[in-house]
Amino acid sequence: MNENYNITLLNTPADQLPENLRINVRSRIDHTLLDPAATKDQIITLCEEALEFGFASVCVAPCWIPVCRRKLFNGAETRITTVIGFPHGNESTDSKVFAARDAIMAGADEIDMVINIGWVKQRSTVLLENELRRMVSVCGRHVILKVIIECCLLTDEEKVYISKLCAEAGVDYVKTSTGFSTGGATLEDIKLIRDTVGERCSIKAAGGIRTLEDARAFALAGCSRIGCSRSVSIAQKEIEEEKRWQDENDMADFWERTERISNYMAAHYERDKAVALEVKRRRDEYDRLMALRNSGGEIDEQELEQLLDFNVYELKWEYDKAHGNEPDRSLIPYLRHKD
> Which residues are catalytically annotated?
112, 175, 204
* Angle 83-52-86 from CA coordinates, rounded to 5°: 10
Give the largest CA-CA distance in the chain: 119
Question: Quick count: other Cβ atoms within 10 Å of Cβ 47?
Answer: 24
* Angle 93-98-104 from CA coordinates, rounded to 5°: 125
Going by the DSSP 8-state scheme, the letter that residue 327 receives in this structure is: P
> Residue 237 and residue 249: Cα distance in Å, rounded?
18
Asked whether 328 and 320 are in contact (CB, 8 A), the reply is yes
Alpha-carbon distance values, 78 to 30, 57, 253, 291 (Å): 9, 5, 35, 77
Q: What phi and psi, each to the nearest 5 degrees, are found at residue 299?
A: -130, 160
Three-state DSSP class for residue 111:
strand
Asked whether 112 and 83 are in contact (CB, 8 A), the reply is yes
Asked whether 14 and 8 are in contact (CB, 8 A), the reply is yes
Residue 124 exposed, middle or buried by CB count within 10 Å (0-12, 13-18, 19+): middle
